[in-house]
Amino acid sequence: MKSLNKKEIKELERKQTLPVKRNSEGAVIPTKFTERELNHVIFVQLEKVRKENFKKFGGPGIQKHWGKQSKAERIHQERLERGEGTSGSRPMNI
């Protein structure tokens, strides 16, 4: 799905700041958003969660603790640090 352009984002922000409308019984009437606008709102709201998950589960600099690695993983890491990486012709037995 195509992302929103600047004009559409401005319109979305305007819609979000509109006062709440109510019917005669006092029930809230929701503002009408298009599917693209709803997807954008969800994407923006989940940005913080995505960043936290990236840091927690695979962001740069995240490594296994030395004591929690298997011997094969430690040897492989040492070889990579020395510049002796595997050629990729065979998989490692980890």
- Token pair recorded at residue 38: 């709803």
Whether the per-residue pLDDT at 81 is higher than 70: the answer is yes
| Residue 90 belongs to some domain of the structure | no
Region of residue 26 (phi > 0: left; psi between -120 and 50: alpha; otherwise: beta): left
In a domain, 85, yes or no: no
d(CA 66, CA 56): 17
Mean pLDDT of the 88-94 span: 57
Give a yes or no: residue 44 inside a domain.
yes
Q: Which domain holds residue 38?
A: 1-59
d(CA 3, CA 83): 43
pLDDT, tens digit, for every residue of 14-63?
998 989 889 999 999 988 899 999 999 888 888 888 888 777 776 655 56
Return the pLDDT at 80: 76
Distance between CA atoms of 34 and 12, rounded to whole angstroms?
9
Find the farthest-apart pair of alpha carbons in the chain and give their distance in angstroms, rounded: 75
The predicted model scores a pTM of: 0.50
Query: Into how many domains does the chain fold?
Result: 1
